[in-house]
Structure 1
Amino acid sequence: MGRKKKESKKQIKASDARQTVAAGRRPMKTKASAAGDGRAWFARLGPGIILLTFALVIYLPSFKGAFHLDDMHSIVDNPYVHIRNLKPATLFRAAFQDFHQNRPLSNLSLALNYYFGRLDPFGYHVVNFIFFCLTGLGIWLLLNRLFLQLGFEQARSGLAAWLCALLWSSHPLNTQAVTYIVQRHTSFAGAFSIWSIYFFHLGLEAKKRQPLFYGLCGLCAACALLCKETALTLPAMLLLYKIYFFDELKPGWLRSNGKWIVALAVFYGLGALVALRPEMLANLRRDFAGKHISAWGKFLTAPRALFWYLHLVVLPLPRFLSLFHEFPLSRSFFHPYTTAVSWLGLLLVVYLALARARRSRIFSFAVLWYLGSLAVESMPLPIEIVYDHRLYLALLSLIVPACAWPVLKAKSLKPVLALSVAVALVFGFFSFSRNRVWTSEASLWEDVLQKYPKNASACNQLGLVYAGEGRLDLAIQYYDKAIELNPSGTDAYNNRGNAYRARGQAGLSIKDFSKAVELNPREANAYYNRGLAYADQGRFDLAIQDYSKAIELGDKNGEAYNNRGAAYANIGRQDLA
């Protein structure tokens, strides 16, 4: 009897539910179903929210950061980005800067930042952080797809991809690419590169929407190239990605990709013809002439730098990170001896990566990714040998094999998960500490000087900081030290001359400006500043000569014209004023 009553109640509830659905009303959710929906919602969005929140906490100090070093001539003192309207002609000029720049898209972003926020660093930092987050999310999505493509189960693939994105987002080496505003060239190119590969992967998987995904892939790749030249290796990496993970290096992969290999050869061949044209080679020779490095020395040193970077990836302690690093050039293959060792080591690593490519595709591709990410800036170009921000995407070469492989293969996930989260927390703490260093000019350069006490550039920059604060005596002390460490540097003489002039010591300032001109006869600022000092002494004829020389050398500062006009007026030449 009792059983029949229970069955009749169930039938009544079922019929009520059917009537509710038939009437177009949603059935009432029970507590169990609501809890299930909550868990499903968190499973979809929770990992992304955690990833972004963790990144935000780490980078909170960066939003208080100031403009530093190259930010000055790229943003603060750059008339091209100081736009007042959004007319197409204005935006085009801001992007290409009379074709003096090769990074139009990231230049345009700086101009838009200026238009909406003028010279408030906060807005620039927000944009940099947004692109950093987009890169982290792209890494998560891309790696999840990759691990599924390799045949791993969905749960482990998702977890491994998320942990890799977490470790990458928390890594202290990324702080320079994100917090140093002008390095958005690097972070923008990195974001577009990752999303280009992601859309390429979707295109390779898709059957119906291939043109859409390939179009998005091409668009992102073009954007990456318009942000920084390091993305020149992206087309090759896309083809390698297909060969490794979709063709699986099976016999016949070379034949099936023949047309793409020819297209790549044409692309890089044309690029080489453009890069090696006579005027470009002349520019390279001129740039090398003003540097402390040579093309041959840079070529010899590159493998040493590639191996040196690895210790920063594995052990990114704040005391190892710096805006500048003093990295000695190799003089020959055996001076220092580590040059020959590094070259042999590089050749051995590449050989092993290629020889074991079919058996260890992840590890083999990681080696090629590392070399491809650093290839352009490792070439014999007149740029510094090492910088932290260059490892922005190269980090993945070590993070993916070291983190994802144990997650994908381990029998028990708890130890691997605990270790990965612990490392991410430690990295996050280091990144937070590093971001605090970037909050002011003084703290940044004091950090460099603490790690490299004989760095002349750091002494010079600290002098500028203290001069800006009106502490001229302290500024001159740092300029003195910079000159002692690098007697051939013009900047310290020029800056010390300005400090002397601010103290009313025109004679000493003229002596320093003259020394700067002697060291570099094409230093327009030194001529202009010496003209000001001559004018202070009433020696207007000499001032006019220096103003004219500064204008001749291409000083785009209108003040040179204004002051020359004032000097003409002072000697009664109103017709020239």
Structure 2
Amino acid sequence: MENSTAENNNAGLERPAPQTNKLLIILAGAVLAMAALWVYSNTLSSPFVFDDVPFIQRNANIAVSDLSLDSLKNAAFDSTRPLANLSFALNHYFSGGNEAAYHMVNIVLHFLAGLGMYYLLLCLLAVPGIGQKNASSQWAPFLAALLWLVHPVHTGAVTYIVQRSAVMASMFCLWSMAMYIKARLSARGKGGKYWVLSVVLWMLALAGKEIALALPFAALVFEWFFFQDLRKDWAGKFALILGGFLAASVIGAYLFLGSHPLDSILYDYKNFDFTLKERLLTEPRVLVYYLSLLAFPYPGRLVLDYDIPHSQSLLNPATTLYSILFMAGLIAAALLLARKRRLVSYAILWFCITLFLESSFIPLDLAFEHRLYLPSVFPIFAVAALLPSKENLRKPAIVSLLSIAVIFGVWTHQRNTVWQSDVALWRDTVAKVPENARAHNNLGLALAHAGRDDDAFKEFQKAVELKPDFAQANYNIGISLGHQEEHEKAIPYFEKAVEKEPENVLYLNDLALAYMGAGRLEDAITRLYQALRIEPEYAPTHNNLGVALGGQAMVTQALEHFRKAVEIYPDYADAHRNLGILLGNLDNHPKAIAEFEKVIKLLPRDPQANFLLGRSYAAVGKYEKAVLHFRETLQAVPDYIPALYNIGLIYMGQEKYVEAAKFFEKILKIKPENMQASKQLKKCIDEARANVQAQKEPLSPE
């Protein structure tokens, strides 16, 4: 399919793509759409998993309640991926937390990316050195796009909701590349609109994910390969443009990372258990594995969270050196093949260029399948483009590729069944990488969410066994023990978590709560002040500190922190409740009532808040309101003795002895040994009898 040499297109002469029946193009697009929908149709009920939870499900900025400019701006610029974030915010606005809506958007974007790939490949057929006007060339774009759309490795980008950023960035990159080629194939002066579209689409890709930074470099290599015919006299211009791109990248890094980008990068490595050197040595092994996944993406080889052993040196493990030599040899082969097999050569370079950001010095996890989404485009096309032109060979080759597409589709559908439950997904991960501590921890979280606390606890323990300083797993063990009121046992685990991440305010707060549960209020106060120094405006810290200080009879300071908590977060029900309790203890019942009313507004059926509000109303003599809220408490907790007792006392005070007696009788049915209820019931009976007797006495004449 390839020419051994490429024509010079410096003159910008218009070269239309080989004529293709428009009806066939529409039909091909429909087939691609149906294929994408079929292989991902079983993902619509898949839950939020892993990074979906903090970045989407629990992200307050994403949970927009209106489409105001401020709301959308806060959502968009919550991270460095504004377009992806904006799409999540719109998803939430129109569908709330409905996972199916998020998945459907991902599927549509995946199809649009596949359609962009198909259109790009059709444009490529007119590029010197790629397309020929024969029947086989017409099949290559469709087969490549189909194989790419149904490839099982892309479940890591499409089914994993948060990786919409990768799908979105890749989609715009493919359309941008297509517009660049259209511009280059246009006659002089007629390609302006395509150049503008290409730049705009690339900027949209950048707003989706940073991987789009690789596109100018990939396009520059494409220009040299196919439009400049690898001319040596263009090498100087090539170097100049490349230098400009590199300079722009350095300036971007300076603006993004600060005046000391290297220090910033090295600082971020503290969040990982590998060094910069270990990452650089390990990534060639990862790249080789990525290539094997493209060739053989059997679902049994796919994993959400890989656990790649770190390369300590060139020979530890030995595959490190082999992988480095293999990748170096692959790049060398690409350069040597540039004349004779230009498309194959470019596919290798495209793979390396588009993976560079996520597979080099940047402090990221070592491997994720979603990173193959964009890099796989040209390698898959290069395979499809090798279709033989001879009729007797071409048809069997087409049938073979279609058969592979069907197998890939079945495998993708099969892989997606694992994503239908977070427990199933993490069980699959643990089964494939049993030494992965993070996978065991996440399986524990999934089991805890499913109410299987004992099984969850075992997974947290396994995670700590594999990685003793794993902060989150230690924290989760502490939480589990805290739920069992085992505060003393929980404290060492929280302390390990804090030791590993001393600036984690959440860990400090829960350590403080464990101290409080164990009666160690001074230790709790110390940790909470430590948390405030790190993050002064964190409302839960102020609330917890108020509780601890109140326990030490430091009432003034406690009031100050409760008030600060509700100032930071006006809808903080627990802080309003605690402030009301403290004000009530100080006999400041009117202000206590105001705080409890705020709690009721936020949590109308909350039994404790209703009881506390009822008690405060009773303290200021507003008995009807008091009874109303005590009854509201009993609606939620029918056997709540304090509410029954207080209603009984109010009715006694109103001389409604028969009504009062009913409530004391209910208490005695619940707890027969309750002496106070028994005593009050006796009083009610005596008073009721006295009233009856008084009514029977004859009136004395004057």
TM-score of the superposition, structure 2-length normalised?
0.72
Are 1:148 and 1:154, in contact at CA under 8 Å, matched by a contact in 2?
Answer: no
Counterpart residue number, 1:506: 487
Q: CA separation in 1, counterparts of 2:92 and 2:260?
A: 33
Is 1:385 equivalent to 2:366 in the alignment? Answer: yes
Counterpart residue number, 2:229: 248
Are 1:524 and 1:555, in contact at CA under 8 Å, matched by a contact in 2?
Answer: no
Is 1:343 equivalent to 2:321 in the alignment? Answer: no
Counterpart residue number, 1:135: 113
Counterpart residue number, 1:366: 347
Q: CA separation in 2, counterparts of 1:469 and 1:394?
A: 37
Counterpart residue number, 1:13: none
Letter in 2 for 1:193: C
Shift of 1:396: 2.5
Letter in 2 for 1:194: L
Counterpart residue number, 1:3: none
Letter in 2 for 1:136: G
Q: Which has the larger radius of gyration?
A: 2
Letter in 1 for 2:123: R
Are 1:95 and 1:105, in contact at CA under 8 Å, matched by a contact in 2?
Answer: yes
Tell me: CA distance 1:523–1:340, structure 2 relative to 1, closer, same or farther (3 Å): same
Tell me: CA distance 1:552–1:62, structure 2 relative to 1, closer, same or farther (3 Å): farther
User: Pairwise mapping of residues 189-208 of structure 1 onto structure 2 (< 5 A)?
Assistant: 189-207=169-187
Letter in 2 for 1:304: R
Counterpart residue number, 2:122: 144
> Which residue, 38, 56, 62 being the options, matches 1:75?
56
Q: CA separation in 2, counterparts of 1:44 and 1:201?
A: 19
Letter in 2 for 1:104: P
Is 1:418 equivalent to 2:399 in the alignment? Answer: yes
Listed one character per residue, the Cα deviations across residues 503-557 of structure 1 (whole Å, up to 9, x for unaligned) are 2222222232123223332232221112223344455444343333334333875
Counterpart residue number, 1:164: 144
Deviates more, 1:143-152 or 1:551-560: 551-560
Letter in 2 for 1:124: Y
Shift of 1:411: 4.7
Counterpart residue number, 1:483: 464
**Count, aligned residues:** 536
CA RMSD across the alignment: 2.4
Is 1:264 equivalent to 2:245 in the alignment? Answer: yes
Listed one character per residue, the Cα deviations across residues 26-64 of structure 1 (whole Å, up to 9, x for unaligned) are xxxxxxxxxxxxxx7853422111111011010011111
Matched position secondary structure for 1:253:
helix
Listed one character per residue, the Cα deviations across residues 350-401 of structure 1 (whole Å, up to 9, x for unaligned) are 2221223122110110111010121111112221221111111222343122
| Structure 1, gaps ≥5 residues long | 1-39
Deviates more, 1:188-197 or 1:147-156: 147-156
Q: Percent identity?
A: 33
Tell me: CA distance 1:339–1:258, structure 2 relative to 1, closer, same or farther (3 Å): closer
Tell me: CA distance 1:266–1:522, structure 2 relative to 1, closer, same or farther (3 Å): closer
Tell me: CA distance 1:44–1:310, structure 2 relative to 1, closer, same or farther (3 Å): closer
Letter in 1 for 2:475: N
Are 1:64 and 1:122, in contact at CA under 8 Å, matched by a contact in 2?
Answer: yes
Tell me: CA distance 1:401–1:62, structure 2 relative to 1, closer, same or farther (3 Å): same
Letter in 2 for 1:179: T
Q: CA separation in 2, counterparts of 1:556 and 1:198?
A: 49
Letter in 2 for 1:184: R
TM-score of the superposition, structure 1-length normalised?
0.87
Are 1:330 and 1:339, in contact at CA under 8 Å, matched by a contact in 2?
Answer: yes
Is 1:109 equivalent to 2:87 in the alignment? Answer: yes
Is 1:520 equivalent to 2:520 in the alignment? Answer: no
> Which residue, 414, 433, 449 being the options, matches 2:414?
433
Tell me: CA distance 1:503–1:273, structure 2 relative to 1, closer, same or farther (3 Å): closer
Counterpart residue number, 1:465: 446
> Which residue, 524, 542, 546 being the options, matches 1:565?
546
Q: CA separation in 2, counterparts of 1:410 and 1:139?
A: 26
Are 1:293 and 1:382, in contact at CA under 8 Å, matched by a contact in 2?
Answer: no
Counterpart residue number, 1:185: 165
Counterpart residue number, 1:32: none
Listed one character per residue, the Cα deviations across residues 73-104 of structure 1 (whole Å, up to 9, x for unaligned) are 2112222222222222332222222xxx3222
Matched position secondary structure for 1:80:
coil
Q: CA separation in 2, counterparts of 1:406 and 1:261?
A: 33
Q: Which has the higher contact order (CA 8 A, sep 6+)?
A: 1
Shift of 1:232: 1.3
Deviates more, 1:130-139 or 1:227-236: 227-236
Is 1:124 equivalent to 2:102 in the alignment? Answer: yes
Q: CA separation in 2, counterparts of 1:118 and 1:221?
A: 30
Q: CA separation in 2, counterparts of 1:466 and 1:355?
A: 53
Matched position secondary structure for 1:226:
helix
